[in-house]
Amino acid sequence: MTWDTRSLRRLLEQVAAGQVDPREAAERLAALGTADLGHTRVDHHRVVRRGMPEVVYGEGKTPDQVLEIVDHLVARGDAPVLVTRLDPGTGEALAARHPRGRWDPVSRTFLWRKGKGRLRPGLLVVSAGTSDLPVAREVEVSAEALGLAADTLHDVGIAGLHRLLAELPRLRRARVIVVVAGMEGALPSVVAGLVAAPVIGVPTSVGYGASFGGLAALLGMLNSCAGGLTVVNIDNGYGAACAARAILDLRRS
């Protein structure tokens, strides 16, 4: 069973109403905590603490380790299972093992969802150039795993600012915006100066030599004159999706 604060509250209410035996409830709650797979301790309690499930970072893990972790999470219940930073071989192996899942070679992610489920609107993902798409796609897939439906606006960088300005109504309808940009990383500052919604900047490692693998974009965003711009680490699309989910949760409460 998948646990979140709502399902935990429902179980406690059922115990209080005499609908569930306390011993049965104790057995269910015993499934909380961690599962030791030998090489990995899977954190099942994270969804209760933070409202977001455990996510698997694939880089640095062997294919067998990734497969075992995903097998465990899929067998456990209906929570979405997301794996980021996958190599093509492991991604294809996951897709073959779990055909209900979706391997995306652009973002290097694998997402398994038991059912379609309803996704919450309000997130807009904006990318500066086509070269930024891998990170932008990681934001979109991660957002889906976190229960968000991402609207997208790609290739609207400041080298042709008219492309962005033509989409101003869409920008202003969004409740939170993630802006992905490499090179000098100026696009998040421009967007943050045009809208009232929270803006999260994601610097990418795209750019020529003096971009220093995304460091120039990161520093550019951190030194933005647009007040309220939040910045995550270089190429960290997953982190931006988590921040967007947290902001939308607060705005809904």
Report the percentage of the chain scoring pLDDT > 90.
64
Q: Domain spans of the chain?
A: 1-32, 34-112, 120-252
44-53, 97-106, 172-181, 230-239: lowest mean pLDDT where? 44-53
What's the CATH number of domain 120-252, 1.10.3720.10, 3.40.50.1970, 2.60.40.3500, 3.20.10.10? 3.40.50.1970
pTM of the model: 0.82
| Mean pLDDT of all residues belonging to the chain | 87
Contacts 24+ apart (CB under 8 A), 190-193: 190/158, 190/161, 190/164, 190/226, 191/126, 191/164, 192/224, 192/226, 192/227, 192/228, 192/229, 193/226
Segment 127-133 shows an average pLDDT of 96
